Amino acid sequence: MTRTHNKYLFPVAAALIALPLMGFAQEVAPAAPAADAAVEAAAPTFDQIGPYIMTTLLFLVGGFLVMWMAAGFAMLEAGLVRSKNVTTQLTKNVALFAIAGIMYWLVGFNLMYPGDGWTIVGYVGALFSPTVLEPVGLAADAASLDYASVASDFFFQLMFCATTASIVSGTLAERIKLWPFLIFTVVLTGFLYPIEASWQWGGGWLSEAGFYDFAGSTLVHAAGGFAALAGALVLGPRIGRFKDGKVFPMPGSNLALATLGTFILWLGWFGFNGGSQLAAGTVGDITDVGRIFANTNMAASAGAVAAMIFTQLMYGKVDLTMVLNGALAGLVSITAGPLDPSLFGSLLIGAVGGIIAVLVVPMLDKMKIDDVVGAIPVHLVAGFWGTMIVPWNSPDTSFVTQFIGFAAIGIFMFVVSLVIWLILKAVMGIRVSEEAEINGLDVSEMGMEAYPEFAKG
C-alpha cells in the first residue's frame, strides 16, 4: 500500500471505532440531562461570583504591595541612622511587623471592624475577639458574595496597622531601648490604631459625622506621627544634636539604602491607595483603581520636584534626604483623597506636601524635637494637609468635619501615647544610657562588638 492510501486509512479506522462508542453514549445519555440541569441551576454564575473573586484578588495583591512597604521603611531607616545603630533599627522593623501580625489577629481586626459587636457603639469595637477565617474549601453558596473573603480583608488591613508602627520606629531611632519600644508596639497595633481607625473605617462616630479619609492620611499616617511625636517629647533628642542654640547634623550611614527604601515605599503605595477602593468587580471600580494609581504617582513626583526646587532656593543646593521626604510627603498628602482629583489637582496636592516636608524640619529643630527620619513632617503635618484639602475635590465633604476628625484622632493618639510612654519610662526606662548611645545601640541592645569608627559616627 502506498503513502497516499495510508493517509485515508487512519481517519476511516477512527470513524469505525468511534461509531459503536457513539451508540453506547446515546444509550446511557438519557439519565444525565436532569442531573446536569440541577447542578447548572445551583451553581452561581460568574456575574454573581466575579465581584467577590476580583475584590478578594485586589486585597491580596494590594496587601502584599503594602507589605513591601515594610521593606521600604526598613531600608529608609537603615540608611538614615548612623552605622552603629543599623542592626538595631532593622531588628525593630522586623519585630514590629511580626508583633502587628499577632496583635491584629488577637485583638485588632474585630476591634476595628466590629460589625454589630461594638463594646461601646461607635467608639470601641469588639474587645478580645480573635479573627476567624472561612473554612477550607468554602463553597460559593456559603460565601458572602457582596464583598470579599475575610482572609483577604484581614491580610490587607493588617498591613495598614503595621505601617502605623513603622512610622514611630524611625522618629525614635538611635536612643530608645528595644524592649520598651516593642511593648509600645503591642499596645499600638492591638488597641490604639484599631480603636481610632474604627471610628471611620469600622462605621464609627466619625463615619456617621461625614469624615472622609480614603486610605489613611489621618487614620494611618497622622496617627503614627502623633504617637511618634509623643515618644520624641518624652525621649528627648540624641546626644549632641542640639547644643548652644545650634543644630548639628548627624548624617545617615547609607543614602543609597535610603533612596532604595523610598522607591520601595513609592511602589507599595499603589497597593496602599489602590486597594482602598475596596472593590474591583465592575468596570467602574477597576477603572477607578487605575485612576488612583495615576494620581498617587503624580503626587509623589510633584512632592519630590517641589522639595528639590525649594531646597535649592532655601539652601543654595539640593538635599537628597529632603527630596526623598518630599516624595513621601506627596504620597501622604494624596492618600486621604486619591480618587477625585485630576492629575493636575494631584500635582498641586503633592507639591504642597513636598514643600511642607522642607519647611517643617527646621521648625522642629527650633523646638529641639529630634526626628531622625523626618516622619513627623512627612506623616503628621503632610497628613493634616492631605486631610484638609479633600473638600476641594470632593464636594460631599466638609472642611469643618475634616478638621474635627483630624483633631479627634490627633488628641486621642497623642494623649494616650504620651501616657503609655510616661508609664514605660517610669517602670522600666525607655532610653539607653549615655555610654550606650555613644557606643551605638548595636552594642548595647544587640550585643555586637564595638568598633571605634562606629562610635565616632
Can you give the pLDDT at residue 22?
38
Residue 30 has pLDDT above 50, yes or no: no
Q: How do residues 386-425 score in pLDDT, each as one tens digit?
A: 999 999 999 899 999 999 999 999 999 999 999 999 999 9
Question: CB of 431 within 8 A of CB of 176?
Answer: yes
DSSP element (H, E) containing 242: strand 242-243
CA–CA dist 375, 224 (Å, integer): 9
Q: How do residues 219-255 score in pLDDT, each as one tens digit?
A: 999 999 999 999 999 999 999 999 988 999 999 999 9
Question: CB of 80 within 8 A of CB of 93?
Answer: no
Q: Cell numbers for 357, please give them.
A: 516636608
Q: Cell numbers for 100, please give them.
A: 502587628
CA–CA dist 424, 402 (Å, integer): 33
CA–CA dist 264, 272 (Å, integer): 12
CA–CA dist 311, 290 (Å, integer): 32
> Structurally, what CATH architecture does the domain formed by 48-127+148-456 represent?
Orthogonal Bundle (1.10)
| DSSP conformation class of 281 | S
CA–CA dist 56, 278 (Å, integer): 9
CA–CA dist 180, 430 (Å, integer): 6
Query: Could you tell me the pLDDT band of residue 18, with boundaries at 50, 70 and 90?
Result: very low
Which SS3 state, helix, strand or coil, does residue 20 take?
Answer: helix
Q: Is the pTM of this model over 0.85?
A: yes
Q: How do residues 334-357 score in pLDDT, each as one tens digit?
A: 999 999 999 999 999 999 999 999
243 beta partners:
246
Q: How many CA atoms lie within 13 A of 226 on its CB side?
A: 28
Question: CB of 65 within 8 A of CB of 275?
Answer: yes
Strands 242-243 and 246-247: antiparallel
